[in-house]
Amino acid sequence: MTRCLFTSLSIAVAITFSSHPIFGQAPGAAKKMELDSPLLQPWTGPHGGVPPWNLVRSEEFVTAFDAAISESNAEIKAITDNKDEPNFENTIVAMERAGRTLSRLEAIFFVYTSNLNVGPIPDIEKVIVPKLSEYEDSVYQNKELFARISAVYESPAMKNGSFDLAQRRLVDDTYKTFLRKGAKLDRSDKAKLSQMNTRLARLFTDFSQNVLADENGYVTWIKDKSELAGLPDSVVAAMSNAAQDRNNKDGDWAITNTRSSMDPFLTYSSNRPLREKVWRNYYSRGDNGDKYDNNKIIAEILKIRAARAKLLGYETHAHWRMEPTMAKKPEAAMDLMMKVWPKALARVREEVADMQAIADEEGAKLKIEPWDYRYYAEKVRKAKYDLDFNEVKPYLQLDKLREAMMWAATQLYGLHFKQLSGIPVFHPDVTVWEVTDADGKHVGLWYLDPYAREGKRSGAWMTDYRAQENMGKPITTIVSNNSNFIKGADGEAVLISWDDAVTLFHEFGHALHGLLSKVNYRSQSGTSVARDYVEFPSQINEHWLETPEILNQFAVHHKTGEPIPQELLDKIKKASTFNQGFDTVEYLASALIDMKLHLAGSDDIDPDAFERETLAAMDMPSELPMRHRTPHFMHIFSGDSYSAGYYSYLWADALTADAAERFVEAGSFYDKDVAKSLHDNVMSIGDTIDPAEGFRRFRGRDVDTSALLRKRGFPVD
């Protein structure tokens, strides 16, 4: 039987660096741990090996990282010490092969920081993340290594066609990434850059842990059953289970401080004061003026990012971050966002007017506030379209929707999924599936971790534990999807909302992007593509949820097994563009704040004031908030990857809307020829070609952004 790691990790353990066993060990003991630790060994087991979750001991993480970094440094030194003339094989491919132990270790550790961040893990994270930042800088600033990369970049083989397209792109990307990371700075500036990056790494960790603390710390408890008025049975059951998970310490029902718990409560609860309390708890994460307040951290992050961009020769952090994207420059992203923004604002005004009219008709004597928006929007939906998503939810079973995603992947790409037993997992909630192709050949493994728990960050995400590659020896991928659904009672189906079902399909699209990868080099594998392109495969996968083939087979009532009535399907289709003002403005406000913050330069910024004043200047409606307020905006302040890049979802949705229309033009979302083209030109090729070219090959032309407006029901100029 696989040992459950979560039981021991969930015990609250207060540690200090001087007293915890991972610090202050005798050198001999540390060396023995390095040699013996399963964290440092190649993965064993089926399908090229699997993560040894059953053997992980968290007290070994720090020492294991020291050993893995030391090994990676030795592998880099072997490349730079090579006396042969630099070429693709002995430099670029050698870099692709280096750092395997470190990559495996990171895959395990960052599952702990995102899915199991309890006990000693937060303190361990504060030690390890700066180490990784320092290691990364040591590689990018390695003068001898960059000289070899430059030699390959400038070699005749790059110009005379000796390299194939993927090889040329890999060399070009490697060279330019080193430039962007400071390879040409002098010694003094490299030292400054390293100090900045190390400090940012610490700040990112502090920011993330503060948000997690507020998500765990602000639970709204209900003791009186009368306060459940308006809530459907499925939501009440989820709140009851959430309370049981917390030992019912303050009430019989609990609303946790996560979107998956907050959203349905605000949609259905008729208790307005309680709606306001839940809303304020959620949207004030990281902004409560206590030890977990993130405003000072944000201000410092912004200042360092601006200074770093200047040091690297860029006008702003936004210009530095966007150079390798499809958009290339902030102006291009801003142009697309501002094309949509006024249309979305106009739609919000219409939506608010409709909601206010219903509130007035009911004699509510209120002005619509942010904690009212979801509640009255649901009333408008019912009045306008006779659609109550309470009627839909009994047909949306998590397990059946998982089957639906797999079924669609079989129809489109020939993939098949088989649940495995006996594979180590990091928590009993996790299931593992083998994925094979149409010929029965092993493609990869898919791990699913669907449920919320203490220490798990909110939201939904995909990650890979191992990337697909084929440098002489095929290596298959291991990918995972992670969500925060609330468990039902024992033996009861887990019912989810329509929005959560869309998110489920979205994240599975990322997993498919990894599973379908057929490239040679791991740096180009799967989702390793431009930030504003990576959301395209996931967003296009959302469209299969609403196809009749899926809904008629898999949207079945959790008690009767009856399929969802056609009348209800017709209402869903008719209301497909409902509330797009809210959805678009909520998202775009965050994307615009992100971009404007990172275009603001190096002046001191008060995050709360900047957010408030910028939203006012943008004519942000008072009736709704931005989707991610600055103090808990994990996308942009828990790391660099999405900073000045939250626009990517809109950019990718422009591609998605246009791509979806090709399936519509073909007459079916299951058209074999269109699906094959999507596979061949998007899903399987990773970063081996320019993404714009990949889209062009699929669509037969460049993207038509007016499709985005049509998708959201906005007027097309």
Q: Which residues are catalytic?
A: 507
Q: How many CA atoms lie within 13 A of 289 on its CB side?
A: 0
Cα gap 299→307, rounded to integer Å? 12
Cα gap 457→215, rounded to integer Å? 8
* DSSP annotation string for 301-333: HHHHHHHHHHHTT-SSHHHHHHTTSSS-SHHHH
- CA separation, residue 544 to residues 117, 513, 651, 672 (Å): 34, 15, 20, 14
- Residue 282's contacts (CB-CB under 8 Å, 6 or more residues apart) are 218, 257, 258, 259, 262
With contact defined as beta carbons under 8 Å apart, do 372 and 355 qualify? yes
Backbone angles phi, psi at 271, to 5 degrees: -90, 95
With contact defined as beta carbons under 8 Å apart, do 299 and 630 qualify? no
- Burial label for 201, CB within 10 Å (0-12, 13-18, 19+), is buried
| Closest by Cα among 470, 468, 472 to 528 | 468
With contact defined as beta carbons under 8 Å apart, do 699 and 659 qualify? yes
For 487, which DSSP code?
A: P
- CA separation, residue 550 to residues 108, 445, 554, 670 (Å): 34, 23, 6, 11
Q: What angle do CA 526, 530, 535 make, to 5 degrees?
A: 70
Cα gap 157→442, rounded to integer Å? 35
Cα gap 258→364, rounded to integer Å? 28
The number of residues making up the chain comes to 717
Cα gap 578→389, rounded to integer Å? 12
SS3 442: strand
| Closest by Cα among 446, 519, 505 to 656 | 505
Question: Token pair of 95, please?
Answer: 């870099």
| Closest by Cα among 412, 450, 411, 415 to 431 | 450
With contact defined as beta carbons under 8 Å apart, do 183 and 146 qualify? yes
Cα gap 39→55, rounded to integer Å? 8
Q: Are strands 461-466 and 416-420 parallel, antiparallel or unpaired?
A: unpaired
